[in-house]
Chains A and B, each alone.
Chain A
Amino acid sequence: MTLEIVLQSVVSGLMFGGVIALVAVGVSLIWGIMDVINFAYGEYLMWAMYLTFFLYAGAGLDPLVSLPVNALVLFGAGVLTYRLVIQRVMRGPVFAQLLSTFGLFVLLRYTAWLVFRPDDRQAQSLVSNGVLKLGELRVSTGELVAFVGSVLATSALFCFLTWTKTGKALRAVAQDREAALALGIEPDRLYAIAWGISAAAAGVAGSLVSPFMYVNPLVGDVFLLPGFAAVALGGFGNVYGAFAGGLVIGVVNVTGGTLTMPKVKLALVYLVFLAVLFMRPRGLWGR
């Protein structure tokens, strides 16, 4: 195995890691604000990919053009999820919360199975087939666009959290819900917004990977476990850590698969996940 192959896999890993970072930030946002883990997150992404596909197949929209539509629709889906499901179970035991997002996972996945069948579908994009060469290294245009788009989307989210009034209120609710309420910040309203934003991130990720990935009802698995591992690596609930964790996990996933066997790459991700939990339960960048 030559150095070029390893380098090449690191570059590909980083590209994939950008998307995982966006997924991890979406998951971490909800965890950080309300201590709820969303098992259905990968299924949001899968539905976003179907939406992308049908907007392409039906209306001829390039996945990158339909991205804003995806983000908006998923934002609405996130708000609805909070209002219809999560808000109700928040008053119940933690177990009820776990079961509710797990139930959502099953519902979303097998509804897709029922409606779309387990066939692979793929939208086409202007950036689908291009390859950029950098010396010996090659990067597919689609993956590069996905990487850049993910970085831009997370940056936008970080700016929102840092600078805007609503972003500050979100952080406040995350740190002390009752104190926030004493200042007139309605926790339920902000939780709903957080679910909207989190789901919208899945929507953006779905659009970004559509030019080079098949969609089928199981595609969420490609993102969920690496996303969770990145969340753990970044310190649960730390969105900045989650982003860094995503890049690391992307490289572990792809480079690890290249160095060993492609079949075991998810197992490697899981190993890293376990190792981090053992050695640093609060994550590498945890508080």
Chain B
Amino acid sequence: MTTVLLVDDVHASYGRFDVLRGLSLRVAAGELVAVLGPNGAGKSTLLKTVAGFLTPRQGSIQLDGEEIGGLRPPALLRKGVAYVMQRSSLFPRMTIQENLELGAYVRKTTAEVRQDIERVLALFPRLAERRQQRAEGLSGGERRMLEIGRGLLLRPRLLLLDEPTMGLAPLVMDLIFDKILEVRAAGTTVVMVEQNARRALEVSDRAYVLEQGQTRVEGRGEDLLASEAVRRAYLGSGVAGR
């Protein structure tokens, strides 16, 4: 299978100390890959670096075989890398429609973009009902849907999601995972950072467990779920009982 994203021996930092310390991973076309690990492992930093918010100090990042390390976000967006950050990133005093339109900012506004907006609203019917309302009025789950939908308006080659289900009720969480699976089924490659390790492993094709800025474990979701050692070391007590 063709590799969409290759991260090879990447070092990156905010200041003097490396947060990513020789991290490597590979994502194939059409895969849904989960990135797990304890708080502070560098999961968000990995996505920020791939999305162009941080420049790798060393190592290589390739998209479809082309070096993209150090490119700025607008350039990366034009190459098809969409990024939904961990914190809420909606424009609260703009409408849902406007938020979606801005998701296509780097594209020429055409009939095609308008069609894509309708397609995203069809994927998230709850948003369609409220399209002329301000984003600040949405619930936590709806906000996440809008952020993911906004990312899709780029028609991304690669969608990076940082903790898409953070702080959501279990039912809403399931809904979001279902939508992510739909997005993947439509052909978009997805890398998703998650805290809910068990659910993430269940839905993803493969997963990487990070620790201290490096890849510790890598494997198929179901294999990692089945592995006693991985469960005990990385997935916490919430998983062990099941």
A→B interface (CB under 8 Å): 165, 168-169, 171-172, 175-176, 178-186
B→A interface (CB under 8 Å): 51, 53, 73-74, 77-78, 83, 85, 89-94, 98, 101-103, 105-106, 109, 150
Expressed in whole angstroms, the Cα–Cα distance for A23 and B102 within the complex equals 29
- Identify the 3 closest CB pairs spanning chains A and B, nearest first: A179-B89, A184-B106, A184-B77
Complex contact A181–B73 (CB within 8 A): yes
- In the assembled complex, the CB of B50 is this many whole angstroms from the nearest CB of chain A, namely 12
Q: How many A-B residue pairs have CB under 8 A?
A: 56
Expressed in whole angstroms, the Cα–Cα distance for A165 and B77 within the complex equals 17
Complex contact A176–B89 (CB within 8 A): yes
**What are 9 A-B pairs with beta-carbon distances under 8 A?**
A165-B109, A172-B91, A176-B90, A176-B91, A179-B85, A183-B105, A184-B73, A185-B102, A186-B74
Expressed in whole angstroms, the Cα–Cα distance for A182 and B156 within the complex equals 13
Expressed in whole angstroms, the Cα–Cα distance for A65 and B51 within the complex equals 49
Given contacts A182-B83, A183-B105, A184-B74, contact A171 B89 (CB under 8 A): no
Expressed in whole angstroms, the Cα–Cα distance for A168 and B51 within the complex equals 23
Which one of A169, A175, A184, A185 has the greatest number of beta carbons of chain B within 10 Å? A184
Expressed in whole angstroms, the Cα–Cα distance for A179 and B105 within the complex equals 12
Given contacts A168-B101, A184-B77, A186-B74, contact A179 B90 (CB under 8 A): yes
Within 8 Å CB of B73, what residues of A? 181-182, 184
Expressed in whole angstroms, the Cα–Cα distance for A124 and B117 within the complex equals 53
Main secondary structure of the interface of A (DSSP, over half): helix
Within 8 Å CB of B150, what residues of A? 183
- In the assembled complex, the CB of B47 is this many whole angstroms from the nearest CB of chain A, namely 11
Within 8 Å CB of B77, what residues of A? 183-184
For residue B135, which residue of chain A has the nearest CB?
A175
Within 8 Å CB of A171, what residues of B? 91, 93-94
Within 8 Å CB of B105, what residues of A? 165, 169, 183-185
Expressed in whole angstroms, the Cα–Cα distance for A186 and B85 within the complex equals 17
Q: Out of A165, A175, A184, A186, name the residue touching B91 (CB < 8 Å).
A: A175
Complex contact A184–B90 (CB within 8 A): no
Within 8 Å CB of A176, what residues of B? 89-91
For residue B84, which residue of chain A has the nearest CB?
A182
Which one of B89, B94, B105 has the greatest number of beta carbons of chain A within 10 Å? B105
Expressed in whole angstroms, the Cα–Cα distance for A169 and B106 within the complex equals 11
Complex contact B74–A168 (CB within 8 A): no
Within 8 Å CB of B83, what residues of A? 182
Within 8 Å CB of B51, what residues of A? 182
For residue A162, which residue of chain B has the nearest CB?
B98
For residue A287, which residue of chain B has the nearest CB?
B93
Complex contact B103–A183 (CB within 8 A): yes
Given A168-B102, A169-B102, A179-B89, 4 more pairs with CB closer than 8 A: A168-B101, A171-B94, A175-B92, A178-B89
- In the assembled complex, the CB of A164 is this many whole angstroms from the nearest CB of chain B, namely 10
Complex contact A179–B74 (CB within 8 A): no
For residue B76, which residue of chain A has the nearest CB?
A184
Complex contact A175–B85 (CB within 8 A): no
Which one of A168, A179, A182 has the greatest number of beta carbons of chain B within 10 Å? A182
Within 8 Å CB of B74, what residues of A? 181, 184-186
Within 8 Å CB of A184, what residues of B? 73-74, 77-78, 105-106
Within 8 Å CB of A185, what residues of B? 74, 102, 105
Within 8 Å CB of A186, what residues of B? 74
Within 8 Å CB of A182, what residues of B? 51, 53, 73, 83, 85, 89
Expressed in whole angstroms, the Cα–Cα distance for A176 and B102 within the complex equals 12
Within 8 Å CB of A168, what residues of B? 94, 98, 101-102
- In the assembled complex, the CB of A239 is this many whole angstroms from the nearest CB of chain B, namely 12
Complex contact A175–B94 (CB within 8 A): yes
Within 8 Å CB of A172, what residues of B? 91, 94, 102
Within 8 Å CB of B53, what residues of A? 178, 181-182
- In the assembled complex, the CB of B13 is this many whole angstroms from the nearest CB of chain A, namely 19
Expressed in whole angstroms, the Cα–Cα distance for A169 and B103 within the complex equals 10
- In the assembled complex, the CB of A257 is this many whole angstroms from the nearest CB of chain B, namely 37
